[in-house]
Amino acid sequence: MSMTILTVDDSRTMRDMLKMSLLRAGFTVVQAEDGVHGLEVLQEQHADVIITDINMPRMDGFGFIEGVRGKDAFKATPILVLTTEGDPEKKARAKQAGASGWIVKPFNPEKLIDAIRRVAA
């Protein structure tokens, strides 16, 4: 069974890009539009890895990561955040919230898969 990856991003473009890259690499993809939606999806859906944007309406990536880490079932689920230009402050805040790593936008599929490899068992 292939790994299921939850992508959380308010941008349809970014969701589609992630989806295409991940499907091509053989992953199963589940999507959510923002933090609130992401947490709702996780109520019903298992995810092996989570990839989330930071800047989102309703609930941003930091809030979402904290929410995920608050669930027993997802304490050990790797979470990668999508950031731009290697913003050190955002990375630090994301790590503080419980993120496992980051993907710098714009990413290419190789780097994306590479980042997943470094966190996914």
CB 103 within 8 A of CB 82: yes
- State which of residues 7, 8, 35, 48 lies at the interface with other proteins (CB under 8 A): 48
Q: In whole angstroms, give the CA distance from residue 105 to residue 121.
A: 23
CB-based contact 101:115 (threshold 8 Å): yes
Dist CA 67 CA 110 (whole Å): 29
| Positions in 60-89 near other proteins (CB under 8 A) | 72-73, 75-79, 84-88
CB of 64 to other proteins, least distance (A): 14
Residues of this chain that interact with other proteins (CB under 8 A) are 1-3, 10-14, 16-17, 20-21, 23-33, 37, 40-41, 43-46, 48, 55-57, 72-73, 75-79, 84-88, 95, 98-111, 113, 116-121
